């Protein structure tokens, strides 16, 4: 049986259409964020574990220089189809943890169902990778799933209450933390929209 740390596990689900985490559009909190940021100069954006990539076009339309990455071939093919020909070249089939991005390459990283898809033992590596890729004072935003789950039962793998603060405070300041009102059933009542700022502390 394939494991969530391997592309085959996710590829099988995209091929079969078993996608309970796929929102199918742009969620409300992200729309609100993009509306607030229209007066600020956009920058370089990374979407790790982009899946179907419904938000890619919304970020591009808001002026962001978008890069998206996923290691499941079927997810990348789906994301390219949804994003359209103009943006397809921005979506890469590769492993977020070892793709040769440059340190400080991005102004913004967007999280959407990627953290809860990776085994909990990889969370520190995920955090440190994002911290390295962001410029100081860069933004780390998105949706975070808070539920105390047994690792044997995931994915999704939830964060226990307080675990997010413990994990991310090493490199980030929490700037916004709101409940999510349009969650999919698998995340309902346990999802938060959070915005963090990268500190100057070296990784």
For residue range 110-161, list pLDDT tens digits in order: 999 999 999 999 999 999 999 999 999 999 999 999 998 777 777 999 999 8
For residue range 8-67, list pLDDT tens digits in order: 988 898 898 888 899 999 999 999 999 987 656 689 999 999 999 999 999 999 999 999
In DSSP terms, 66 is beta-bridged to 45
For residue range 94-115, list pLDDT tens digits in order: 999 999 999 999 999 999 999 9
> How high does pLDDT run on average in the chain?
93
Q: Where are the beta strands (DSSP E) in 90-202?
A: 91-93, 106-112, 134-145, 172-179, 191-198
- pLDDT number for residue 150: 76
Q: What is the pTM of this model?
A: 0.94
Burial 71-81 (b: 16+ CB within 10 A, else e): bbebbbbbbbe
Question: Nearest Cα to 58, choosing from 112, 100, 96, 105?
Answer: 112
How sure is the predictor about 3, in pLDDT bands with cuts at 50, 70 and 90?
Answer: confident
> What is the rounded distance in angstroms from the CA atom of residue 20 to the CA atom of residue 13?
10
Q: What is 7-13+25-198's CATH topology?
A: Rossmann fold (3.40.50)
6 pLDDT exceeds 80? yes
């Amino acid at each position: 049986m394939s494991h969530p740390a391997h592309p085959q596990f996710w590829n099988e689900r995209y091929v079969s259409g078993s996608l309970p985490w796929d929102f199918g559009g742009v969620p409300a909190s992200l729309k609100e964020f993009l509306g607030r940021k229209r007066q600020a100069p956009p920058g370089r954006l990374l979407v790790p574990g982009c899946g179907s990539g419904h938000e890619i076009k919304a970020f591009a339309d808001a002026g962001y220089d978008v890069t998206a990455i996923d290691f499941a071939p079927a997810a990348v093919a789906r994301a390219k189809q949804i994003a359209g020909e103009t943006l397809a070249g921005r979506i890469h089939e590769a492993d977020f943890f070892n793709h040769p991005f440059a340190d400080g390459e991005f102004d913004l990283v967007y999280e959407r169902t990627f953290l809860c898809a990776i085994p909990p033992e990889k969370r520190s590596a995920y955090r440190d990778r994002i911290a390295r890729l962001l410029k100081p004072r860069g933004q780390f935003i998105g949706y975070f799933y808070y539920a105390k789950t047994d690792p044997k039962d995931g994915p999704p793998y939830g964060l226990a209450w307080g675990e997010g603060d413990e994990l991310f405070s090493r490199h980030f300041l929490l700037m916004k933390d709101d409940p999510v009102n349009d969650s999919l059933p698998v995340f309902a009542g346990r999802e938060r929209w959070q915005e963090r700022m990268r500190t100057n502390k070296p990784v």
